Each structure stands twice: as structure tokens, then as C-alpha cells.
Amino acid sequence: MRPRVASRMLKKSLFAPAPPRRLLYPPALSLPRQPFRPGTRFFQNFVLDALSIFGKREASFLNCERERQGVRERRGSQFEVLGSTFQQPRTSDLEPSPVPPVSLTFHERYGVILLVAFAMAGLIACERTPDQATEAKKAVVAERPGLLHLTSEELARTVIEVRPVARGQLLVPREFPATIQANENELAEVTTLIRGRVVKVHVDVGQEVKKDTLLAMLHSTDLGVAEGAYLKSAAKLHEAKLAYERARDLHEQKVVSLAELQRREATMKTAQAEAREARNRLELLGVPRKEVERLDREDTIKADVPLRAPFDGRVIMRNITRGEVVEMEQKLFTVADLSDVWVVGNVPEKDVQFIRKDQKVDVIVSAYPHAIVPGTITYIGDVLDPATRTMRLRVTVANPDRLLKPEMFAAVRVYAVSATDALTVPIEAVQNGLTGKMVFVQRGTNDFEVRTVKLGEEQGEVVTVLEGVSAGEQVVTKGSFVLKSEMERHKIEPTP
């Protein structure tokens, strides 16, 4: 055989394209026609089949890559053995026909990931026993419309408190503005009855004093003049008494006439009147009896004017300084007993019908908003203020701790009977529903009836109920919002 023909045949055999290989692709993944629920046996088989198909496709792709690499190596080795001087053929002529890629598309990979996630959730769900799964998924059972049933586990997690529906008188509170004032029966303005100069001040504002406690000392020249006049009148009286007694003895001895005796008697009575006038003047100036007795005993003038506390109390005002000259109309001290105070309020004309004397009321002070102080109405005005159309009201309140101060703002709360037979429930028991206000009535240990109610006026922490409940029924107060959430979650309609 000719060399040219032989080389041509060899080249044809070496570089002939290889027949395409048939790749065995796994069957396509088809979605199930049965109900697709995690945790079922069919769902587990479907997930395992999907994972098997995914693994087979990846293995087929790796086998194809290995075959292509082997073809390249064999072609290269045959070409080196010949040692021919032929031009090296193109790489595309040596390779077999291209093999289609066997990789998964984006949607297929995304589907496989979702299937794996569903598989994990199903396996976790399958770990529970049928009894536990039934108890965990057990919904609120409604034996009849409007009835809410809680399992023992749900009831243990929820704090439930109930209170009965009350029937009785409904007291409506009415509040009136007021201010705190000192009890005027235990209030004293300390002044001086004679003009003088302040020598010393012994107390200050806020100090507790007892009766007859020395507040200040004054020195008064007018008092000295009055005491001197008293001593003169006392001396004249003593002289007149001696003259009358001597004239009486002489008249008995027929030495002086009766007229002389009567003249001397008249002079003595005049001296007595002058002495009494001087003594009364000292008393009017505030000189105590002991000081007058001292004058009679010592015949010495002391122009000191003491200012003393009239009763036990506290000094709430001081308007005096040392060395100051004070007048009789000037207020020097104010002493008050604040163990009880007055709360003076104004009642509108329309509310006068609710006010009675000796009625028990509550006083709310702005300084202590959470404190309620009991008091008694001790005075009701007889006339209305023509400008404000209000009636004056006075309440006496005990103040043992001195917490209530004069001029504090306050409010007087009076309770008036609005209805004699009314149903009331706590406000916290009422919830807002789609059809209006509703409450939860306890029917058993675990059963609660959702009841639509019609409400009236709110009075403090309770509200009147016009329709929907009866007296004595137990309504849920604490925990009613949790029951409302359960009712909305299970779409339970309230009982009309």
C-alpha cells in the first residue's frame, strides 16, 4: 500500500468524530396530586424522591466530565506516538460532539431548597406524638355561639379575676372648688393695746407656743403715765380715808360738826372713784392683775408691756422687729391652732339640693392628689352670691399631721343618690367589640360567655349596665383583654 494512502486512512481513523453518547437523564420531577401536607408519609416519600433525583443529576454531570477528559488524553497520546510531521489539527477536530450541560436551572435549584426546608419542618413536626399535637393545636371549642373554652394549659398561663355584677344605690359624686382656711375659732391676731417700742422678740414664724407664752416685750411711756396716775389716785384715797376717820372720831366727841364729817366722807368717795378709774384704765391697757398688785405693794412704775399667746397653737405670722415703734391698730403676730381646718367651697345653684348640714364628704387637695380626707359640713350659706350664683359651703376637716395648709386649693366631693336600683360592673371588665361593648361572663372553670352589653353612666371605677347581664353573674375583670384576643383569633361572635 502506498504511503500516502496509508497515512490518509490513519488520519481518517484518528480524527473521525466520535459517535454521540446517549446520556441517561433521570425522569423529570412531577408535583404530587395528593394533598401536600407536611408530616404525612406521602410528603416524606416525595421529599426523599426529590433529593434522589437531585443527586442523580449531579452524578451524571460528573461522569460526563470524566469521559470528556479521557477522550482528550487518548487523542493526545496517539498523536505523539505517530511522530508525524503533519500539521497539528485543531482542538475542535479532536473533541467529540459537544455534550449538553447537565446542571440544574435556577428555578429547579430554588424548588429543591424549598423542598428541603419543608422536609425539615415536617420531620420536626413528626417528632411530636399524636396526643401532643392534638393538644397543642386544639382550638378554642365553642359548644354554642358566644361561648369561649380555654384548655387547662391556656388557663394556667392566663391570670383571670372575676367580680359579681352588683345591684344597689348608685352614688353620683359631685365636686365643688374650694380653698383651705384656718379655723377662725382657733385663730388670734395679737396686737398691743398701747403704743410702745419693741424691746425684744421671743418667738418666730412656725414656732409652737403654749397659752400665755411670752411673744415679745414692749416699753411704753403711756403705760408709765397710767401707772403713775394709778399710784397718785391710790395715795389720795389713802389720805381721804384717814381724814374721814379722824373727822368721824371728832364728831363723836362733838368737836366738829356733822357738815364737816359729811364733806370729808364725800372727799373719800371721790378718791375711791378716782382710784377705781385708774385701776380700770390699767386693766384696759392689758396690765394683768398681778402687775396691779405689785404696784400696790411696791409703788414702783414699770412701763413694760408683755405680748403673750392667747392659746396653744403655732405662730403663722410675725410683723414685728426689735426697736420698732408699734401702734394699737397694727397686727404683730398671728397664732392659730391648725389641728383642724376649714375647707370653704362654692356650690352652684343647681347642686344646692344635694347639700345638707352634718353631711359626710370627701376633700381632695391639689397638693396630695391621691389622698382623700374625710370631713363634715358644718355650715351652709343662707344666701347666694348674686355675682356668681353660688352658695358658700364650709367643711371642717381634722388635720393632726399639719399637712393641710391655709390657702391650699382643694375640692369638696359630695355623693348624691342618682339611682336606687342599678346594675354596675367594674370598668376594667368592659371591652370594645365589633358590635359594641362586651363583657365575659364565667360559665364554668374553663368556659366564658361573650356577652354584648348596653352601658350607662360611668361613676368612678364602675359603670352602670342597662342591658346584657344580671345581678350576681361573675364577670371577668383582670384578663378580659386576653379573652378578647382569643375570641378574635377564633372568630367567635358575642351573644346578643
Please write the tens of the pLDDT for every residue from 434-444: 788 889 998 88
CATH number of 336-418: 2.40.30.170
Can you tell me the mean pLDDT for 10-35?
A: 46
Q: Is the per-residue pLDDT at 61 higher than 90?
A: no
Amino acid 55: pLDDT = 59
Residue type, 415: Y
Separation between Cα atoms, residue 45 and residue 43, nearest integer Å = 6
The number of beta carbons lying within 10 Å of the beta carbon of residue 162 is 17
Q: Enter the pTM of the model.
A: 0.52
For residue 209, what are the β-bridge partners?
Answer: 313
**Residue 80 half-sphere exposure toward CB, CA atoms < 13 A:** 6
282 closest CA partner among 155, 395, 193: 193
pLDDT tens across 415-433, in order?
877 667 788 888 889 988 8
Q: Is the per-residue pLDDT at 8 higher than 90?
A: no
> In this structure, are residues 170 and 331 in contact, taking their beta carbons and an 8 Å threshold?
no
Q: Is the dihedral of CA 77, 80, 86, 87 positive or negative?
A: positive
Q: What is the dihedral of CA 46, 48, 54, 56, to 10 degrees?
A: -120
- Residue 28 binned pLDDT confidence (cut-offs 50, 70, 90): very low
Q: Is the per-residue pLDDT at 205 higher than 70?
A: yes
Separation between Cα atoms, residue 425 and residue 312, nearest integer Å = 50
Can you tell me the mean pLDDT for 175-179?
A: 94
pLDDT tens across 265-298, in order?
899 999 999 999 999 988 888 888 888 888 888 8
CA 473 from centroid of its chain's CA atoms: 30
Residue type, 49: D
118-132, 288-302, 339-353 — which is least confidently predicted?
118-132
Class of domain 147-170+420-489: mainly beta
Which positions ≥6 away from 338 have C-beta within 8 Å?
182, 183, 186, 313, 314, 316, 399, 402, 404, 406
Amino acid 128: pLDDT = 46
> In this structure, are residues 173 and 415 in contact, taking their beta carbons and an 8 Å threshold?
yes
Amino acid 100: pLDDT = 45
Sheet holding 187-190, edge to edge: 187-190, 333-336, 313-318, 208-209
**Range among 39-43, 280-284, 393-397 rated most confident:** 393-397
Q: Is the per-residue pLDDT at 496 higher than 70?
A: no
Amino acid 97: pLDDT = 43
Can you tell me the mean pLDDT for 253-268?
A: 88
More confident residue, 61 or 288: 288
Alpha-helical runs (H) found in 127-220: 130-136, 152-157
For domain 188-217+308-334, give its CATH number from 2.40.50.100, 1.10.10.10, 3.30.70.20, 3.40.50.1370.
2.40.50.100
Can you tell me the mean pLDDT for 155-179?
A: 85
**Residue 150 half-sphere exposure toward CB, CA atoms < 13 A:** 26
Can you tell me the mean pLDDT for 371-398?
A: 93
Domain locations in the chain as residue ranges: 18-127, 147-170+420-489, 188-217+308-334, 221-302, 336-418
Separation between Cα atoms, residue 442 and residue 449, nearest integer Å = 6
Amino acid 398: pLDDT = 94
Q: Is the per-residue pLDDT at 30 higher than 50?
A: no
- Quote the mean pLDDT of the chain: 78
Mapping DSSP to helix (H, G, I), strand (E, B) and coil, where does residue 443 land? Answer: coil
CA 436 from centroid of its chain's CA atoms: 28
Q: Quote the Cα angle for 109-111-114, to 5°.
A: 115
Range 62-79 burial, b when 16+ CB lie within 10 A, else e: eebeeeeeeeeeebeeeb
Of all residues in the chain, what percent carry a pLDDT higher than 70? 70
